[in-house]
Structure 1
Amino acid sequence: MIRLLLFLSYAGLRSHALLRFGCSQLVTERLDPLGTPGQVSPHVHQIIGGNAFNVTMDPALDIPSVATCTTCKFKEDKSNYWTAVMYFKHPNGTFTRVPQIPNHFVGSTDGGMTVYYVQPGGNRVSAFPKGFRMITGNPKVRLSSPSEPSDVGSWALSFRCWESPDPFGPSNTYPPGAGQYDTRHLPNKKCAGGIRSNVFFPSCWDGKNTDMPDHSSHTAYPLGSVNPNVGILGFAGEGCPSSHPVRVPHVLYETYWDTSKFNNLLTDTEWETEQPLVLSMGDPTGYGQHGDYLFGWEGDSLQRAMDNCMDGFGWPEACTELTVQTDEEMNSCRLATKVDENVGESEYIEALPGCNPLQNGPEPATTVEGCLAVSTTIASVATPV
C-alpha cells in the first residue's frame, strides 16, 4: 500500500482531494434495498456504514438523522456500501464464507472494506445530493469484456492476487485495477497473501436524477483512454460526456478476502483446474462482481472534505473537516440480522443461501426455479420460489 500511496503522490494527487478510510462490518445477510427493496435479496451481501440500513431504504429517508452510528472512520459518513460475499467451495461440495480482514494501514477494523473518495484530475467535484444511489457491475455477467484503454468502464472491476501480505511487496506495486497482478476474473491460482477485490464507481452524473430504475444510467465514466499501468484511480480523462456533465467523487471499494487460510486444502494443480472460490450469486468466474452505493453523509460534510482535504495519502486524520472515530467505536456499530438463515460465517453449508447454484457461463446467469429458499417475506419460513 505504501507503494500505492507513493504513486498517488507522484501522480500529482497530493494537490487533489483524497479520502481513504476503513469501515468495519455492519451486517452480512440477504438484503439489497436497491435491487430488491422490501424483499429478501436473491444472494448474500456484506454491508458497511450507517445503522439506518434497512430492507427498503425509502428515498425519502433522512439517513443522517436516523442513523445513530456508523462502521466507517468518519462520524459524518452514514452512507451504506455493499458487495456480494465470497465463498470457498470444499472438495466435498460444501461452502464456507471467506472472512474479510483489515486492509493495509486502516487500523483494526472488524472485516468490512476500505473506501476511497477521489477528486480526479484536480477538477472540483460536486458531492452527491441527498437520496443519491448507484450500482456498478452486473451479478448475472459470466463473460469478460476486454479492458480496452478507450473503454473506461472495463477497468472498474478487478481482483488483486497478493503474493504475500507484505505491503511493500511487488504485488502491491500497481494501483487497483491495473498492472500484472489484477484480473477481471477470480484468480485461478493460490494467492499467498489473499485476494483484494476492487470496485470503482462512475464519476460523472447527469445532474438531475438521484436514482434511476436500473440504478446506473444516471451515472457514467469519464471519456478518454486509460493507461494500463495506472488504471482509473487517478483517471480524469477528457471530461464527462455531455449527457452526464457533473463531476462527482470517484468512489472505490477495496475488500480484503483472507483466502490464504484455504490454500492448504487443495494442491496447486487442483486449484488451477477447478478454481474453488465463488461469489454469493453462484458466480465462480468473478465477472459478476458488483457494488451498491447509497449516499448518507451529514449536511455538506462530504463537499467540505472534497474542497479542503488535499492530503495525497488520504489519511483520515489529515482531514480536519471531518470527525474521526476510534476502531472500537466503528466495531461496536452493528445491526442484527433480519433473515434467519446460516450464511456460512462459521459453519459449513451445503448450498449458497438463496437459489444460487454455480453458473459458469459464458452465457448470463439465469434465475433458477423450483428450489427451496427463504421466501421474499422477511422472517418467513422456507418456501419454493
Structure 2
Amino acid sequence: MQLQLQHTVAGLALLAPGALALLRFSCSQLVVERLDPLVTPGVTGSPHVHQIIGGNSFRPSMDPGSLDIPTASTCTTCTFADDFSNYWEQTAILYFQARNGTFKRVPQKPNVGFEAAKGGMTVYYTPVLSGQGKVTAFKPGFRMIVGNPVNRAASDVPRQLTFTCLKDPYTRDGETKDFPKQPCPAGIMVNVRFPTCWDGVTLDPPDHQSHVAYPSSGTFESNGPCPASHPVKIPQLFYEVIFDTTPFNDKSLWPADGSQPFVWSFGDKSGLGNHGDYVFGWKGDALQKAMDSNCNINCPALKSQSIQQGNQCTVPDIVGEDIDGWLTELPGGMPVDK
C-alpha cells in the first residue's frame, strides 16, 4: 500500500507541482446495468451499460427536487462514509470483440492496496494549488458530465480524458486519448479528470456540462486561471478505473488486420467517446471541510469505513440482463463502429 501511495503521489507531483493536498480513496462497485438517471432519467434500460459506485440511493430517476441523496442512502461503497455521491462512466464497461464477432466483458481490478469489490474505482478530489486561494466544494443538487459518447475525433476530446497502457501496476506515463494499439502487460487504466471551474450559480443545466469549464489558459496542473464566465474554482474530480485486459493479450485472438479488439459498451472502438458522470451526494459540509483541511490521501476530518465495509453496499440489478457471458451483440443492441 505504501509503495502504491508513493508512486501515486510522485505521479501527482509531476502533474500538479505545488499541490499539497488531495483526497484519494477507493469506491467498490455498487451495480452494473443499463441505467443513466442524468441522460435518460426514469428509463429502466438506458441505451448502454454503466458501472455505478457510491451511495445506494441510486435509481432510474434522481430528481434533485425530490431526492435528498445523503438522507435516502443507507450505505456507500466509498471509503469516506459521508460520501453518498454517485459516480459512473463507460470506462467501467469494456468489451473484447472476438474474431467471430462475439463480445466478452473485460473484468476490472483495483489499484494496488485498494481491494474494492469487482475493481470499482479510485476517486480523487484535488483542491487548488498551494497559495492560490480557496476551492469551493460542490453544492447539493450539483451534477456534471465530461466527454461525449459520440466523439470520434481526437480534436474533440479534452486532454483530461485518457488511457494508460500499464507496463506494471504503477505505470502512470504514456497517456493517450484513444485505446492502446498493442497488448498492455498489466491492463489498461482509464483516466477521467473533470473541469475545475464553475459558473457559481447553475447546479445542473440540461446538457449537464455548460456550467463547468476547464481553465481559460494553461491547465489545472499549471494553475491556469478560470474563465470569467466560470470564475469559481472547484475541486478537480478524477476517476481511475483499471481493466484486466491480460486474458486477451494473445494477438492471435485479435482481429486479423491487427487492430485493437476492445470496444466500449456504447459501440466505440476508438476510445474517443470516453466520458464520465457525477452526482454530488456528500453529507452536510463534509467535502468542504476536507478541502479546507488540506487532507493528504487520508483525512482525519472525515468519517471513514473499511474497504470491506464498502464492499457490502449494493443495490439490486433492476434491468436484469446478461452482460457477462459471450454475447452476440452489446447489451441494449448497441451497434459497433465500422
Query: Taking structure 1 as the reference length, what is the TM-score of the superposition?
Result: 0.81
Alpha-carbon shift at residue 109 of structure 1 (Å): 4.0
Which structure 2 residues correspond to residues 48-67 of structure 1 after superposition, within 5 A? 48-60=53-65, 61-67=67-73
Alpha-carbon shift at residue 267 of structure 1 (Å): 3.3
**Structure 2 counterpart of 1:251, from 228, 231, 237:** 237
With over 3 angstroms needed to count, the CA separation of the structure-2 counterparts of 1:268 and 1:96, relative to structure 1, is: closer
Q: Aligned residue for 1:18?
A: 22
8 Å CA contact 1:22, 1:109 repeated in 2:
no
Tell me the distance in 1 between the aligned counterparts of 2:11 and 2:327: 42
> Does 1:201 find its partner at 2:158?
no
**Structure 1 counterpart of 2:329, from 328, 351, 355:** 351
Alpha-carbon shift at residue 24 of structure 1 (Å): 0.6
**Structure 2 counterpart of 1:80, from 83, 86, 92:** 86
Q: Aligned residue for 2:311?
A: 331
Tell me the distance in 2 between the aligned counterparts of 1:109 and 1:280: 20
Alpha-carbon shift at residue 3 of structure 1 (Å): 3.0
With over 3 angstroms needed to count, the CA separation of the structure-2 counterparts of 1:333 and 1:272, relative to structure 1, is: farther
Q: Aligned residue for 1:185?
A: 178
Q: Aligned residue for 1:371?
A: none
Q: Aligned residue for 2:223?
A: 236
Tell me the distance in 2 between the aligned counterparts of 1:339 and 1:55: 10
8 Å CA contact 1:120, 1:235 repeated in 2:
no
With over 3 angstroms needed to count, the CA separation of the structure-2 counterparts of 1:7 and 1:103, relative to structure 1, is: closer
8 Å CA contact 2:96, 2:105 repeated in 1:
yes
**Structure 2 counterpart of 1:27, from 24, 31, 51:** 31
Q: Deviations over 1:98-145 (max 9, x none)?
A: 111111332444321100000132331111110000000000111111
Q: Aligned residue for 1:125?
A: 135
Extract unaligned runs of 5+ from structure 2: none
Residue type of the partner of 1:53? Answer: F
Tell me the distance in 1 between the aligned counterparts of 2:72 and 2:118: 23
Residue type of the partner of 2:244? Answer: D
With over 3 angstroms needed to count, the CA separation of the structure-2 counterparts of 1:323 and 1:95, relative to structure 1, is: same
> Does 1:106 find its partner at 2:114?
yes
Q: Aligned residue for 2:249?
A: 263
Residue type of the partner of 2:223? Answer: A
**SS of 2:207 mapped into structure 1:** coil
8 Å CA contact 2:162, 2:177 repeated in 1:
yes
Tell me the distance in 1 between the aligned counterparts of 2:185 and 2:72: 42
Alpha-carbon shift at residue 341 of structure 1 (Å): 1.1
Tell me the distance in 2 between the aligned counterparts of 1:348 and 1:8: 38
Tell me the distance in 1 between the aligned counterparts of 2:256 and 2:96: 11
**Structure 1 counterpart of 2:204, from 202, 205, 211:** 211
Tell me the distance in 1 between the aligned counterparts of 2:12 and 2:262: 31
**SS of 1:255 mapped into structure 2:** strand
**SS of 2:46 mapped into structure 1:** strand
Q: Aligned residue for 1:302?
A: 287
With over 3 angstroms needed to count, the CA separation of the structure-2 counterparts of 1:135 and 1:269, relative to structure 1, is: closer
Residue type of the partner of 1:58? Answer: D
Q: Deviations over 1:235-282 (max 9, x none)?
A: 421x21111111111100100111112113x33985872211000000
Tell me the distance in 2 between the aligned counterparts of 1:183 and 1:293: 23
**SS of 2:110 mapped into structure 1:** coil
Residue type of the partner of 1:211? Answer: D
With over 3 angstroms needed to count, the CA separation of the structure-2 counterparts of 1:22 and 1:241, relative to structure 1, is: same
Alpha-carbon shift at residue 59 of structure 1 (Å): 1.2
> Does 1:41 find its partner at 2:35?
no
Alpha-carbon shift at residue 7 of structure 1 (Å): 4.1
**Structure 1 counterpart of 2:154, from 144, 155, 174:** 144
8 Å CA contact 1:98, 1:257 repeated in 2:
yes
With over 3 angstroms needed to count, the CA separation of the structure-2 counterparts of 1:272 and 1:126, relative to structure 1, is: farther
How many residues are paired up? 326
Residue type of the partner of 2:165? Answer: C
**SS of 1:302 mapped into structure 2:** helix
> Does 1:158 find its partner at 2:162?
yes
8 Å CA contact 2:114, 2:307 repeated in 1:
no
Query: Taking structure 2 as the reference length, what is the TM-score of the superposition?
Result: 0.92
Tell me the distance in 2 between the aligned counterparts of 1:250 and 1:105: 23
Tell me the distance in 1 between the aligned counterparts of 2:94 and 2:18: 35
Q: Deviations over 1:19-58 (max 9, x none)?
A: 0101110000000000000112110001000000000111
Q: Deviations over 1:137-170 (max 9, x none)?
A: 0001111117xxxxxx7211110001123x2xxx
Deviates most, 89-98 or 72-81: 89-98
With over 3 angstroms needed to count, the CA separation of the structure-2 counterparts of 1:272 and 1:201, relative to structure 1, is: farther
Residue type of the partner of 2:85? Answer: S
